[in-house]
């Protein structure tokens, strides 16, 4: 049972992103992601200006009138969203987290696909495959995809750590229960560290035909480039990197304790240290530069999203870039 808050969020996303898709994105999406070719639709009478190469000579001979063949684009595209839900995605220093930015991006892609009669599927992953929704078409299916990206795990966490005592447990039992839940969540973080290779291998097994594959993550992982390169030979792979500005440039805020969301490791640092801030900034820049270089060598496109900013502008610019490249 979905909470009323999650239902309201899904409806709000449907309204806001749906309007943007209808007004701006749908045409750009259609121009970028072409179908598999042209298929025969019907024959119709010849009119001046028609290409004579499209004349259907068999029908023309039988009827005594000139008819031409009409073709339409055979789309039957499948868009697959691979969304990273590892703990690091919950980080956000602005008005929303990286996970929430991933939800908005997923919604725009899902509604764009459905608007163009394409199929949409979903794989939620961290260190393992968390949930797989096979590709299908239709508005209801797109809403289900958006709902799962948005709501996965929220109800369970809220129930475990909900304030008050809805079950009427003795206070000492309730305290022990919450301590156990908190400890368990920390223990699970290591096993939930991002494993992109595992997600790509899962797609290799379950997707027999070519798809447009959007890999949405912060890419805090290693050793996945070979698998990514192999997947791109079979599918059209697009990597969507979601960053938070505070990960790229740490402000001078004094002594703070940081927790590695992927491993659970704690570390106290002095952010007033200019040397530390510059080292951290250089490390983040080098990580992104290495990712860009590896993807470029693998011929995989990269879309970069700032978690604190609207998704529509970088997504639209990405579509325009792909369209310009296809025209060359």
Q: Do 67 and 157 reside in the same domain of the chain? A: no
Judged against a pLDDT cut of 80, whether residue 4 lies above it is answered with no
| Mean pLDDT score, 135-139 | 92
What does the alpha-carbon distance between residue 315 and residue 28 come to, in Å, rounded to a whole number?
10
Radius of gyration of the chain (CA): 24
Q: Do 48 and 189 reside in the same domain of the chain? A: no
| Mean pLDDT score, 95-115 | 91
Dihedral angle sign, alpha carbons of residues 106, 110, 116, 121: positive
Q: What is the pLDDT of residue 35?
A: 56
pLDDT 10s digits, 210-227: 899 999 999 999 999 999
Judged against a pLDDT cut of 60, whether residue 248 lies above it is answered with yes
- Asked if residue 314 lies in contact with residue 252, where contact means CB atoms within 8 angstroms, the answer is no
Q: What is the CATH number of the domain that holds 159?
A: 3.40.50.410
Alpha carbon 186 to its chain's center: 26
- Asked if residue 82 lies in contact with residue 205, where contact means CB atoms within 8 angstroms, the answer is no
Q: Do 14 and 51 reside in the same domain of the chain? A: no
Predicted confidence band at 52 (pLDDT cuts at 50, 70, 90)?
A: confident
Alpha carbon 145 to its chain's center: 11
Judged against a pLDDT cut of 80, whether residue 317 lies above it is answered with yes
Which of 18-22, 287-291, 295-299 is least confident? 18-22
Q: What is the pLDDT of residue 293?
A: 97
Q: Do 45 and 163 reside in the same domain of the chain? A: no
Mean confidence (pLDDT) of the chain: 82
* Residue 35 lies inside a defined structural domain of this protein: no
Q: Do 229 and 273 reside in the same domain of the chain? A: yes
What does the alpha-carbon distance between residue 198 and residue 203 come to, in Å, rounded to a whole number?
9
Q: What is the pLDDT of residue 159?
A: 45
| Domain encompassing residue 50 | 40-73
pLDDT 10s digits, 35-48: 555 555 678 898 88
Q: What is the pLDDT of residue 93?
A: 81
pLDDT 10s digits, 164-202: 555 455 665 556 656 665 555 555 444 557 899 999 999
Q: Do 62 and 150 reside in the same domain of the chain? A: no
Q: Do 174 and 302 reside in the same domain of the chain? A: yes
What does the alpha-carbon distance between residue 229 and residue 215 come to, in Å, rounded to a whole number?
13
Q: Tokens 């206070």 correspond to what residue?
A: 171
pTM, two decimal places: 0.76
* Residue 31 lies inside a defined structural domain of this protein: no
Predicted confidence band at 160 (pLDDT cuts at 50, 70, 90)?
A: very low
Give the 3-state secondary structure of the chain.
Answer: CCCHHHHHHHHHHHHHHHHHHHHHHHHHHHHHCCCCEEEEEEEEECCCCCCHHHECHHHHHHHCCCEEEEEEEECCCEEEEEEECCHHHHCCCCCCCHHHHHHHHHHHHHHHHHHCCCEEEEEEECCCEEEEEEEECCHHHHHHHHHHHHHCCHHHHHHHCCCCCCCCCCHHHHHHHHHHHHHHHHHHHHHCCCCHHHHHHHHHHHCCCCCEEEEEECCCCCCCHHHHHHHHHHCEEEEEEEECHHHHCCCCCCEEEEECCCCCCEEEEECCCHHHHHHHHHHHHHHHHHHHHHHHHCCCEEEEEECCCCCHHHHHHHHHHHHHHHHC
What does the alpha-carbon distance between residue 136 and residue 114 come to, in Å, rounded to a whole number?
9
* Residue 318 lies inside a defined structural domain of this protein: yes
Residue with the larger pLDDT of the pair 20 and 174: 20
Q: Do 216 and 86 reside in the same domain of the chain? A: yes
Q: What is the pLDDT of residue 250?
A: 84
């Amino acid at each position: 049972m979905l909470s009323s808050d999650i239902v309201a969020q899904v409806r709000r996303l449907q309204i806001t992103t749906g309007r943007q898709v209808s007004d701006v994105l749908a045409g750009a999406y259609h121009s970028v992601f072409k179908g598999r070719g042209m298929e025969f639709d019907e024959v119709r009478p010849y009119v001046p200006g028609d290409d004579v190469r499209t004349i259907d000579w068999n029908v023309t001979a039988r009827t005594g009138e000139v008819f031409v063949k009409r073709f339409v684009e055979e789309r039957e595209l499948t868009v697959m969203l691979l969304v990273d839900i590892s703990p690091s995605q919950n980080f956000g220093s602005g008005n929303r987290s990286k996970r929430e930015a991933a939800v908005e991006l997923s919604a725009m892609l899902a509604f764009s696909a459905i608007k163009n009669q394409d199929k949409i599927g979903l794989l939620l992953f961290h260190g393992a495959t968390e949930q797989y929704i096979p590709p299908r078409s239709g508005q209801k299916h797109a809403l289900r995809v958006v709902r799962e990206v948005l709501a996965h795990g929220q109800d369970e966490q809220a129930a475990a750590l909900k304030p008050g005592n809805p079950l009427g447990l003795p206070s000492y039992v309730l305290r022990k229960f919450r301590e156990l839940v908190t400890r368990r969540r920390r223990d699970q973080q290591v096993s939930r560290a991002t494993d992109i290779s595992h997600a790509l291998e899962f797609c290799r097994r379950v997707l027999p035909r070519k798809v447009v594959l959007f890999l949405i993550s912060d890419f805090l992982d290693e050793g996945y480039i070979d698998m990514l390169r192999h997947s791109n030979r079979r599918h059209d792979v697009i990597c969507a990197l979601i960053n938070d500005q505070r990960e790229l440039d740490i402000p001078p805020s004094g002594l703070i304790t940081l927790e590695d969301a992927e491993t659970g490791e704690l570390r106290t640092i002095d952010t007033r240290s200019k040397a530390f801030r510059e080292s951290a900034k250089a490390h983040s820049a080098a990580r992104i530069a290495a990712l860009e270089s590896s993807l470029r060598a693998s011929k995989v496109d990269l879309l970069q999203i700032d978690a604190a900013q609207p998704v529509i502008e970088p997504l639209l610019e990405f579509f325009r870039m792909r369209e310009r490249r296809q025209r060359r």
